[in-house]
Amino acid sequence: MASPGRRELLVSKTWIQVAVLVFLVGFFILGLLAYRTYVAGPPVPDRVLDARGGVLYSGKDVSKGQQVFLHNVPRAMFIFLPLLAGLMMLMYWRPRHYYVEHLLLFVHNHAFVFLVAGMALLLGRLVPRLPGLNFLIFLYFAWYMYRSMRVVYQQGRLLTVSKLLLLASFYLLFASLLAAITSVYSAFTL
């Protein structure tokens, strides 16, 4: 039963805990798979031949394609961040916040992520093996995002966590979609 002044939750606390646990385990597994993919790296052949023995593409073509893709990623970010800010506007419709406030929060958080990721890459070059560093950085990013949303929007812990999990889901969906679109665009601009 809810205490005076508070309304009762629509779902039980057990359902909320299970949902948060499934999200955390899912993102942890996704992170492990991404890390294994990053460490293993894809094999790049010297050349790929067609049925007649002609060269379809070479390893240099693959490298050029990767460079074109990385060149187009900042352009995709100019679509990605405003799209997420629009989603945040829908999530935080009361009390009313301006669109630019949501956009500024995303720009700030992404600048922070790029700064810390750059420092982690530099640290990784200086000290080759730091076990658990990537996991600690991921936890810090999640906490930083939670804290920034809590301070800016001034909502309760549970509501902030639920909106952060929803935002993370849409973030992955939009990032995957934009990565696919950027890949296709990059292939056509080679």
Sign of CA dihedral 148, 152, 154, 158: negative
Tell me phi and psi for residue 152, to 5 degrees. Answer: -70, -45
48, 56 Cβ separation under 8 angstroms: yes
Give the per-residue pLDDT at 53. 80
Whether residue 105 sits in one domain with residue 163 = yes
| 11 has a pLDDT exceeding 70 | no
Asked if residue 69 and residue 36 are part of one domain, the reply reads no
pLDDT at 45: 74
Do 97 and 173 lie in one domain? The reply is yes
Residues 141, 94 share a domain: yes
**Assigned domain for 86 exists:** yes
The number of folded domains in the chain is 2
Residues 168 and 111 both lie in one domain: yes
23 shares a domain with 70: no
Percentage of the chain surpassing pLDDT 70? 91
* Cβ-based neighbour number of residue 122 at 10 Å: 10
pLDDT top residue among 38 and 77: 77
100 and 138 part of one domain: yes
pLDDT band of 106, cuts 50, 70, 90: confident
pTM beyond 0.95: the answer is no
Q: Which domain holds residue 142?
A: 65-190
Asked if 112 and 188 sit in the same domain, the reply is: yes
Does 101 lie in the same domain as 142? Answer: yes
- β-partners of residue 84 are none
Phi, psi of 56, rounded to the nearest 5 degrees = -80, -50
Residues 97 and 176 in one domain: yes
Looking at the fold, whether 125 and 38 belong to one and the same domain comes out as no
> Per-residue confidence at 9, pLDDT binned at 50, 70, 90?
low
Q: How confident is the model at residue 36 (pLDDT cuts 50, 70, 90)?
A: confident
Residue 50 burial class via C-beta count within 10 angstroms: exposed 0-12, middle 13-18, buried 19 and up? exposed
pLDDT at 190 (0 to 100): 76
Whether 52 is covered by a domain: the verdict is no
Write out pLDDT tens, residues 47-99.
777 788 887 777 777 778 778 887 888 888 888 888 888 888 888 777 777 88
Residue 47 has φ and ψ, to the nearest 5°, of -160, 155
Within a domain: residue 81?
yes
pLDDT at 157 over 80: yes
Is residue 49 in some structural domain? no
48 bridge partner residues: 57
Length of the chain: 190
Q: Are residues 75 and 153 in the same domain?
A: yes
- Using CA atoms, how far residue 61 sits from 72, 77, 161, 190, in Å, is 17, 25, 44, 9
Asked if the structure places residue 57 within a domain, the reply is no
